[in-house]
Structure 1
């Protein structure tokens, strides 16, 4: 009987200790979100020196490819990572005659399945890009993305609009990550101009929401991180010459570079309204960060005097979050666990005497 009681006591103490380390205290969480909206993305190709107007646009784009990838994962302490993912792609052409495998019947041009990390709440519904925010009871990690409209698909004056979000919240111990990636590649054929060069213009507006918090009531190991990356790349398909642009919000520096020069002499930023290539993180409690825009910001680029030839223009945009949480019970709770263990030792000694 004593032996059976001892076993029950060991189980009770073990269960209590496990609960202390796993349970989340009230008003405790680690949170991160990165959401990027791009609207009115326009690509203009005009004769060198001409104004960037619709009437001057030579319409040299020939084909396009769109890709979306969403992933979300959760790793419990001592457990195995579980991941959910969703993605999609579509292609089309403008020349010699328009055709597309993308959706152009009134819905989004391309939507990827939402990713909700297994083992946590599946809070994000398909095509719902609302910011869920932090709370003291729920845990989730999710990602979604969509190309709402695209100029080269609609061919009716509509410009390109995209939206993507990665968001993670932990009220339990573990690691959660979320990631979205939007890729768009457009092939530009300027070989139709054999006697003059062309100028390429890129313009769009963007709204970035990037922030996170660590709000714990006691000690532990915590990390909150969120990031955004936006890169435009123009490549000459024959010579391999390449220009890249990473908008940073620094109007004093030309962020357009090529593979041969530090700064591309024929590449000029027209607008650089904010930093779209930013990562923020915190690892102490309590703490927070916020690199969000207060409104849509304008961005613009001009690459002048492109020689006749075949070019590819690509946009790659990523939003990421990563949160880690290892909550350590408060000293009072640890003291109670210690008393329970001492009691177990006393029971053990008494049983040996008997």
Structure 2
């Protein structure tokens, strides 16, 4: 991309109502970010609202902040973007990377688990990360307490990637500041958010989606039944990744989540050899087919309002909305994108839509 194209890509990605789903559709529909930005006002107006992209000054500030940190901006339309993450439907439009970004194109495995983990589980995660690293794999995790921290520590010498919920400089928890510095020095820290941003609760499911998206397999080591690690495992399964879980004692509530994953079909993991065997049997990942791309024309107001009337606060599959409308799938999706840009509906990865 040229510098102007990269700025437009970032500006479109930072437009408040343009999420990853809408972003991917706009690029498919208009060909590039500059054309999509030019079309935004009309698309939002069609759906009954206005939308204002961030100012050039705001984009300049973000680019300058990244440069000050020595971070690289990776755009999903570029060859430098991590290939596994680019195959996620849809990928995050942009990624900031601080450290050795070359690790993002090497074979990767995620190790995640409980923040308040047992000493034995932390030791297991640290040792397995070291063994997998010695076998040539890069370890991905989320820089949280417990299992995440242990996995990063085990892979410091061979390569590890930390995915953050806030900006690429948002160290959370603060007790991992020294570890963060070591990862920047010898590994890589990534985030889809702008430098300087502090993480909020809604950022962590998106972070988990990047952890699984960067990885060919996800290993869960200790997780309670409502753990965020189980969200990562579910996302990994949806993305076609291998999911493994380390069994634990039924007397320890921290093992219930991992044990339940095994009950649901996750591969049992007792060590690095199980992960390596799972990777040997994993077929090549490819970009999933997207039935809604390439809208042939603009949806009319009557169709948009008919679709909006079908939405509710409870997310519904877009395929069901298409069936209820009896309209071409590409037109229905184009109308949903316009409603999303106007702030009237929310599009979620996995083909779901809901009314706001």
Q: TM-score range by the shorter chain?
A: under 0.3
Structure number with higher relative contact order (C-alpha < 8 Å, ≥ 6 residues apart)? 1
Higher Cα Rg, which structure: 1
User: Which structure dedicates a bigger proportion of its chain to helix?
Assistant: 2
User: Which structure dedicates a bigger proportion of its chain to strand?
Assistant: 1
Q: So what's the TM-score if we normalise by structure 2?
A: 0.26
